Structure 1
Amino acid sequence: MIELIKATVIHKAFGAGEIKEVENGHVVILFKASDSGESTEKKFVYPDAFKNFLKIDDPAIAEQVDSLIKIKDAEEDKRRELDLQEKREKRVAHVKALEELKKKLPAKIKIKKTNSRQNIAFKLNYCDGGASEQIGFNGICSDETIRYNIEKEKRVWCGSKECLCSQYLNGDIDRTALNDAMADDQFVCYESQLLKSWKVLAGEDGDGKTRKIKSARRNSLAVLTTRLPNTKEAERIIFGVFIIDDVLEGNDRESGYVSTQSTYRITLTREEANKMQFWNYHTNTTGKVSAKWGSGLFRYMDDTQAVALLQDLMKIKENTTDAQLAKDLLESYCRNHLIELTTVSQ
């Protein structure tokens, strides 16, 4: 057992601090501001934060922590490799089973769905973090977007006291501390790391109760949507899609989520996303096209809507580096769900 309590550490932004406690995979550090004399507590992931951003003053303790990091990294590498191998084996077995089933079916037969599987579309707050050719959602928002989300859109999390972006806008921390928090794996918002983790949460309702994902399944399509600043709901765009390979329904303590680590995932540039208007593919429960989302964070879509979306995506990605990926994504989706599609370009 490494004795870390009261050990002195150095952080490049917060300066010198003393370890107060270590619990549940986190380390709590008490930093003392040199000018005001007030102390501030910060929580970091343990032992990961000691790789680059925290340094222990005691060489003996530092050596022990380094050894622990190496052991943990090795275990995680082994676990990821085993997970990937298992997923590859399951995918191959699934595809073979589908091919065998298709051989036994009469040509052009329509297969009646016997389960409640659906695809899922998510409503996401706009994030321009990491925007270049990619639309964003891979870093902390610009100052302009932080101010827009908090002051104009009044996003609940963005404007809360716990949110680091809100603390930055109020002048409690500077931009360097905000960026360091992101680098240290402190939670800023999950939009800021969405296109890095490829994991989307169902979130909570207005009463703080976790939402469940009951109809999305493995191999369903996940659709990522947002509204650009100063646009209306009718202008909601699609900026990414992926085929789900991991899904958690959720429970009373943890919200549901969908995610992927497969190659069947694709993002759109801002120009491309403007051509993929969400309400061109989705209808409300009444069956009418109405650009009204409401308070929910996700909606379900059927196979007809999903295939139409993927066909248009393939056209938009023609003559780009993602052309083959868009075609593979459409073909994989149809193959997984026994959908015959004669319009796929050969």
Structure 2
Amino acid sequence: MNLINEKVTHNRFGTGSIVKHNDSIIEIHFASENKKFVFPDVFEKHLKLHNQSAADSMEKIIHKVVMGRKEEEWRKEEEKKRQHKIQQLRSEHEKLMKNHKLHPQSQMAFWCDPEEQDISCSGWKVFSGVIKSGNNKGKPNKPIRLHQNSACLLTAIDSGKPEKDRRILGVYMVNENFIGKLCEDGYIPAHSEYRIQLTEQESDQMLFWKYYTNEKSPHKMTWNSGKYRYFDNVWMAQILLDIVSLKSDPKDRELAQEFFEYFCKMNQICDQEIPKPDGGLMSI
């Protein structure tokens, strides 16, 4: 919009004509001197164009500027709210991390459907499923026991096989900042380092029921419903120790050993005091 030589009236300096302007500054020649103003802000309250057509165009520009400012103020306010919420969550997270007490059964075993069995291809995370009944029906389950010390065990049973042949597919520590109580979407992400996926041959040697025992029916190997179940921290240590022994490749074995040591440290388990596995399979 070219405003050079357009006549204007300023509510303090009187009548003048525009001699220069750009996207941010406008210069006006008045009777005694030239004055510079912020463009287009000066037209909001202090300056008026004599040319009605130019004045109408300027009104549209001012309206656009005003709306832009309001939108920017709204964005800043929303960002302020967002940062406040983040700070609240961070404070709550830090409090939970600081006050966390180890639960003796803070590990989780998952029943993986066929499409979930290649955990590395699904981004190293599992979904805890949804609530089946009650007021929260349809909402994701909150894995409330999971914390920094928790590991997720991936299991599956081949079609046509009995439950006692359930295999372990892999295992991972939860993400180092994960807190189950704060999990809203039901997804449990893996730690950046401690994650192991077994080969098919290795998986065949790692049977879930060698370690796991049904509390109410120790001699029954049944998993009737549900995507997951919590289980004993020591049982997970047994599993990890056997995975270390199972690995033949030096690098894989080293990773498994580091995983095992990290897990024991996080769960305050002495690796010299881990008992032999005594799951349902061991009583057959």
Which of the five TM-score ranges fits, normalised by the shorter chain?
Answer: 0.5 to 0.7
Q: By how many angstroms is 1:303 displaced?
A: 1.7
- Unaligned runs of 5+ residues in structure 1 are 1-89, 98-112, 129-135, 138-192
User: Residue 198 of structure 1 aligns with which residue?
Assistant: 124
The answer on whether the counterparts of 2:147 and 2:180 sit within 8 Å (CA) in structure 1 is no
Is 1:238 aligned to residue 168 of structure 2?
yes
SS at 2:272's partner residue? coil
The CA RMSD over aligned residues, in Å, is 3.2
Q: Scaled by the length of structure 1, what TM-score is found?
A: 0.44
Q: Scaled by the length of structure 2, what TM-score is found?
A: 0.53
State which structure, 1 or 2, has the greater radius of gyration over its C-alpha atoms: 2
Is 1:116 aligned to residue 103 of structure 2?
yes
Question: CA 1:195–1:217 in structure 2 vs 1: closer, same or farther (change >3 Å)?
Answer: farther
User: Residue 224 of structure 1 aligns with which residue?
Assistant: 154
The answer on whether the counterparts of 2:107 and 2:230 sit within 8 Å (CA) in structure 1 is yes
Q: Which runs of 4+ in 1 moved over 2 A?
A: 113-117, 193-196, 205-210, 246-251, 253-257, 318-321
Which of 288, 311, 323 in structure 1 is aligned with 2:253?
323
Count of matched residue pairs: 173
- Unaligned runs of 5+ residues in structure 2 are 1-93, 275-284
SS at 1:260's partner residue? strand
SS at 1:264's partner residue? strand
Q: Deviations over 1:263-296 (max 9, x none)?
A: 1100001110011111111111316142211211
AA matched with 1:125: D
Is 1:309 aligned to residue 235 of structure 2?
no
Q: By how many angstroms is 1:114 displaced?
A: 4.8
Is 1:279 aligned to residue 279 of structure 2?
no
Which of 124, 131, 145 in structure 2 is aligned with 1:215?
145
Q: By how many angstroms is 1:233 displaced?
A: 1.6
Question: CA 1:124–1:335 in structure 2 vs 1: closer, same or farther (change >3 Å)?
Answer: same
Q: By how many angstroms is 1:261 displaced?
A: 4.0
AA matched with 1:214: I
User: Residue 249 of structure 1 aligns with which residue?
Assistant: 180
Question: CA 1:195–1:290 in structure 2 vs 1: closer, same or farther (change >3 Å)?
Answer: farther
Q: By how many angstroms is 1:119 displaced?
A: 0.6
Question: CA 1:255–1:232 in structure 2 vs 1: closer, same or farther (change >3 Å)?
Answer: farther
Q: Distance in 1 between matches of 2:220 and 2:174?
A: 27
Question: CA 1:274–1:320 in structure 2 vs 1: closer, same or farther (change >3 Å)?
Answer: farther
User: Residue 270 of structure 2 aligns with which residue?
Assistant: 340
Question: CA 1:259–1:126 in structure 2 vs 1: closer, same or farther (change >3 Å)?
Answer: same
User: % of aligned pairs identical?
Assistant: 28
Structure with greater helix share of residues? 2
Q: Distance in 2 between matches of 1:289 and 1:264?
A: 32
